Amino acid sequence: MAVPLAEGLSSTREAWEKATAAVLRKTRRLAEDTSDTDVWDVLTTRTLDGIAVTPLGTPELTADLPSAGLPGQSPFTRGATAARENRAWDVRGWFTDPDAERTAADVVTDLENGVNSLWLTVGDDGVPTASLATVLEPVFVDLAPVVVQDPHDPLAAAQALAAVLDDKAVQAHGGTNLGADPIGNALRGRGQTDPAVAVEVARLAAPLGVRAIVVDGTAVHDAGASDVQELAYLLAAGAAYLRLLVDAGFSVDEAAGLLEFRIAATDEQLPTIAKLRAARRTWARVAELSGVAEEARGQLQHAVTSRPMMTTFDPYVNMLRTTVAAFAAGVGGAASVTVLPFDEPLGLPEAFSRRIARNTSSLLISESHVATVTDPAGGSHVVEQLTDDLARAAWAAFGALEEAGGVLDALDDIRAGIERTVSERSLEIATRQRPLTGVSEFPNLEEELPERRPYASAPVVHRYAHEYEQMRHDRAETPVFLATMGPIAAHTARATFAANLFAAGGVDTVVAGATAGVDEVLAAYDGSPVVCLAGPDTAYAEWGADLVPALREAGARHVIVAGKEKVATEIGADDSAAMGLDALAFLRRTREELV
C-alpha cells in the first residue's frame, strides 16, 4: 500500500546505498566484499569534459551553490524572460531546398501546422537569394520571425530579407534575424569570414528593429566539440561581436540586442538542459562585465537538435534522438527550438519527415505540457550541480581563449581542442561505451534506406557514427562463417553478440546451427576465409583446440573466438571478440582477412 508523502515517507542516503548495492551485486557490477558506498563510483558517469553526472541528486550537492535567481532576472539561469509567450517555445522550421516552389509550399504547410518561425538557408547552399521574396510572400512577418543564413554572401541575404520586410511595410517580429556570422564561417573554414560584414548587416538590421547576428555554437558542435567547448566558443564569439559593434559606434546595449545564440541540443538529456542554463548564466556575466544594462543581459537562445548524433542507417531511430533533444531544449529554456527531420543525414527532407519534426514540438508543448512550467528542472540537485559545473568549466575555457587574443586569434587552438575531443569520443564509440542504436548496436544489414534528393551543398558535419557507417556503405562481399558450438541455448548469447558486431562493420555471417563436435562444424563449413567460434567456455575447453586446426586444414585462414583473449590463445585462434574490445579496430582487422 502506498504511503502519502504527507504522512512522512522518507529515506536515508544509507538506505539507498544498501538497496542499490544489492541490485549491483546481483548483476555482478559490484563485488560482494566492497562497501555499499561504492555504488556512487559505479553509477556516476562523466561527460567528455570530465564533469561527473551523479546517479542521484542530494541536498549536499547544491548546498554551497550560488543562487540561480528567478526566471527573467539576473543571472538568467532560470530563463531569459519571466515566462514564455503563450507558455511555449517558438517552433522553428528549417528550410534549405533550392527548389523555390517546393520551399514556398513547405513554408505554407509548416506555418499552417504548428511551426511559428522560419530558418532559411539561402544562396548557393539553399534557396536562391532572388527567390526569397517569393518564398516569404504568404508569410506574416510581423507574427512569424524569419532568420536567414548564407555563409557565402551574408550581406546579400540580409539585403534580400530587408527588402522583403520593407516591401511588406509592417514592423517585423523582433525575433527576426538577418543572420550574419563571419566568425562561425571562419571556424568552419568556408564562406565570408571578414568580421566587418557583421557591422554592415547590423547597420541594416538596427533601423528595422530586428537582430543582425547569429552566434552559432553549432559551428563547433558540428565539428565534434564537447559541451564546454561549445559554451566557451559561444562566449568568446559573442564577446568578439560586442567589441566589434561597439567599436563601430553602437552602444553596448544596442550591440547585445543584435545578437542571437544558436546552441546544439543532443540526446544526452541532463547535460543539454544544464548547457542551456549555463549558457544564459555565463553570458549574463559577460554582458555585466561589458556594461550591458541588467534587463538586456538575457540570452536569446535558438536550440537545434544535434546533427552529429544523427545516423544515416536506421534513420527512423533519429526520431527518438530528436524527441529527447527537443524535450531537453524546451526544459532547458530555449526560446526557439528546431527539430531537424529524421532523414536530414540522407538528403533534402520530405513532407513526412518535416511533419514528424514539427509535430515533435507540438506534442511536447500541447499534449505533454512540457512548457507549462518555467524552468521545470530548476531545483533539481543534479541539474543545478551540472549547470554550475558546466558554467565554471566554460568560464575557465573562455578565459583561456581571451588570453590567447580572442576567438579569431585562437581558432587553431579551438580546432586542436575539438580534435582531442573527437579522438576521445571516437574511442568510446569504438569500444561501444557510447552505443549508437542501429549502427554499432542492433544493426540491420538488410535495411533499405529511404532515397532523398541531394542538398545543394550538404552540411559539413562530423557525425559520431561515420566510421561504422563508412564500413556499412562499403559492405564486405564475403561473410564470416559463425561456427556455433553446442546446443542453441549454450551458444545463442555469444553468437548473437558476434553476429551483431560483424553486422556493425558491414559484414554478414553464415551460421552453422547447433553442433555437437568437430565433424558437424566441418560439415556445415562454407569455405569462408574467416571463421568465428561461438559457444560456451566448456565447449572451447573440450574441443576448441581440435576444431581450430581442423578448420585451418579445411580452408580457414583466420579464426576468431567469441570470448576472452586468453581462451583464443589457449586453443590457437588468431583473434577474440568480447565486451569492451575496440570494435572498430577489430572490424578493420576482420575485413582485411576477408579480402
CB atoms within 10 A of CB 114: 18
The three-state (H, E, C) secondary structure of 297-319, written as one string: CCCCEEEEECCCCCCCCCHHHHH
CATH 2.60.40.10 fits 85-413, yes or no: no
Task: Report the pLDDT value the prediction gives residue 85, as an integer from 0 to 100.
Answer: 66
Q: Is the pLDDT of residue 2 over 70?
A: no
Q: Is the pLDDT of residue 583 over 60?
A: yes
DSSP state, residue 237: H
Taking the C-alpha atoms of residue 539 and residue 497, their distance in angstroms, rounded to an integer, is: 17
pLDDT band at 406; cut points 50, 70, 90: very high
Domain locations along the chain: 24-56, 85-413, 474-594
Buried b (16+ CB within 10 A) or exposed e, 465-484: bbbbbebbeeebebbbbbbb
Q: In terms of C-beta density within 10 A (0-12 exposed, 13-18 middle, 19 or more buried), how is residue 448 classed?
A: exposed
Closest CA relative to residue 425, chosen from 255, 325, 309, 520:
309
Taking the C-alpha atoms of residue 576 and residue 309, their distance in angstroms, rounded to an integer, is: 29
The sign of the torsion formed by the CA atoms of 562, 564, 567, 572 equals positive
Percentage of the chain exceeding pLDDT 70: 98
Among 1-5, 76-80, 100-104, 548-552, whose mean pLDDT is lowest?
Answer: 1-5
CB atoms within 10 A of CB 416: 10
Q: Is the pLDDT of residue 10 over 60?
A: yes
Task: Report the pLDDT value the prediction gives residue 506, as an integer from 0 to 100.
Answer: 97
Task: Report the pLDDT value the prediction gives residue 86, as an integer from 0 to 100.
Answer: 65
Task: Report the pLDDT value the prediction gives residue 82, as an integer from 0 to 100.
Answer: 82
Taking the C-alpha atoms of residue 514 and residue 136, their distance in angstroms, rounded to an integer, is: 65
CB atoms within 10 A of CB 544: 25
pLDDT band at 588; cut points 50, 70, 90: very high
Q: How far is CA 25 from CA 12, 14, 281, 524, in A?
A: 20, 16, 41, 41
Q: Is the pLDDT of residue 12 over 90?
A: no
Tens of pLDDT, residue by residue over 455-485, are 999 889 999 999 999 999 999 999 999 999 9
Taking the C-alpha atoms of residue 147 and residue 172, their distance in angstroms, rounded to an integer, is: 11
pLDDT band at 5; cut points 50, 70, 90: low
Average pLDDT score over residue span 498-525: 95
The CATH superfamily of 474-594 is: Cobalamin-binding domain (3.40.50.280)
Q: Is the pLDDT of residue 11 over 90?
A: no
Percentage of the chain exceeding pLDDT 90: 92
Average pLDDT score over residue span 181-204: 97
Q: Is the pLDDT of residue 84 over 80?
A: no
Task: Report the pLDDT value the prediction gives residue 88, as an integer from 0 to 100.
Answer: 87
Tens of pLDDT, residue by residue over 220-269, are 999 999 999 999 999 999 999 999 999 999 999 999 999 999 999 999 99
Task: Report the pLDDT value the prediction gives residue 1, as an integer from 0 to 100.
Answer: 43
Q: Is the pLDDT of residue 300 over 80?
A: yes
Buried b (16+ CB within 10 A) or exposed e, 184-213: bbbbbeebbbebebbbbbbebbbebebbbb
Taking the C-alpha atoms of residue 346 and residue 447, their distance in angstroms, rounded to an integer, is: 14
The sign of the torsion formed by the CA atoms of 183, 187, 189, 191 equals negative
Task: Report the pLDDT value the prediction gives residue 555, as an integer from 0 to 100.
Answer: 95
Task: Report the pLDDT value the prediction gives residue 595, as an integer from 0 to 100.
Answer: 87
Beta-strand relationship, 45-46 and 52-53: antiparallel
Please tell me whether the overall predicted TM-score, pTM, comes out greater than 0.85 for this model: yes
CB neighbour list of residue 520: distance below 8 Å, 6 or more residues apart: 512
Tens of pLDDT, residue by residue over 91-131, are 999 999 999 999 999 999 999 999 999 999 999 999 999 99
Taking the C-alpha atoms of residue 165 and residue 161, their distance in angstroms, rounded to an integer, is: 6
Q: Please give the residue that has the higher pLDDT: either 154 or 10.
A: 154
Tens of pLDDT, residue by residue over 374-388, are 899 999 999 999 999
Q: List the grid coordinates of 356.
A: 514528424
Round to the nearest angstrom and report the end-to-end CA distance of the chain: 64
